A = this chain, B = another copy of it.
């Protein structure tokens, strides 16, 4: 099956490492030894691995220290908050054009995601719920039709994904978040840009208030491990 493997080892390991970091399989701050991870990933050699590290470093997912190699980037609380503030701002920028430009087809697609998120909520499937939630927000941003905005939004989401996920472990807020999403969808369908912007902003504000404590606890745990 995998006979012809010339030309995409770097690509493959970059994607796998990115997934592992974003999903939290590798803990923040954890050192990644070239040889060690290489043997763990199909016995890949060091060259494509090193290239993957450089890419992920440019994305902010790993940090490279000279002569000391790569480690999973450990963000500070301040950095996570700055990033979330930016993400909210970006969604705000997307709101008006998204309302103006979104197609019926994309509206239906988001609607379906919303339905599936509701199902995940009822089944109490955390991961599924979380990913659908993220997907909905990404789709709204995409609807604005600005490729660069979409790319930046996706990249910054990935960078802090692990931390936000930690902040969603408790589902106390899920029902309220669902209701807010319902409103958001309504504003989008009504093509009311300014309302959509306010709803999105409030949605994140509410969400972050709850998540924050959990994320802080996560930070404390990481600090313990790291010491």
Chain A residues engaging chain B, CB cutoff 8 angstroms: 7-8, 10, 47, 50-51, 54-55, 57-59, 66-67, 78-79, 82-83, 85-86, 89-90, 92-93, 146-149, 152, 156
Q: Given the complex, which residues of B lie within 8 Å of A10, measured CB to CB?
A: 54
A82, B8: Cβ atoms closer than 8 Å? no
Give the nearest-CB partner of A97 in chain B.
B85
Q: Given the complex, which residues of B lie within 8 Å of A47, measured CB to CB?
A: 47
Interface centre among A51, A90, A148 (most CB of B within 10 A): A148
Give the nearest-CB partner of A58 in chain B.
B58
Give the nearest-CB partner of A59 in chain B.
B58
Complex formed: what's the CA distance from A3 to B27 in Å?
38
* Contact A82-B146, Cβ < 8 Å, known A50-B51, A51-B51: yes
* Contact A148-B54, Cβ < 8 Å, known A7-B66, A66-B8, A67-B7: no
Contacts A51-B51, A82-B147, A82-B149 supplied; 7 other A-B pairs, CB < 8 Å: A7-B66, A8-B66, A54-B54, A55-B55, A78-B147, A82-B146, A86-B149
Q: Given the complex, which residues of B lie within 8 Å of A50, measured CB to CB?
A: 51
Q: Given the complex, which residues of B lie within 8 Å of A92, measured CB to CB?
A: 93
In whole Å, how far is A141's beta carbon from the nearest beta carbon of chain B? Answer: 11
Give the nearest-CB partner of A50 in chain B.
B51
Q: Given the complex, which residues of B lie within 8 Å of A67, measured CB to CB?
A: 7
B58, A146: Cβ atoms closer than 8 Å? no
B86, A152: Cβ atoms closer than 8 Å? yes
In whole Å, how far is A145's beta carbon from the nearest beta carbon of chain B? Answer: 8
- What are the 9 A-B residue pairs with the smallest beta carbon separation, nearest first? A58-B58, A89-B93, A82-B148, A82-B146, A83-B148, A54-B54, A51-B54, A55-B58, A54-B55
A79, B8: Cβ atoms closer than 8 Å? no
Q: Given the complex, which residues of B lie within 8 Å of A93, measured CB to CB?
A: 86, 89, 92-93
A85, B54: Cβ atoms closer than 8 Å? no
Give the nearest-CB partner of A57 in chain B.
B55
Give the nearest-CB partner of A60 in chain B.
B151
A79, B148: Cβ atoms closer than 8 Å? yes
In whole Å, how far is A152's beta carbon from the nearest beta carbon of chain B? Answer: 6
Give the nearest-CB partner of A151 in chain B.
B60
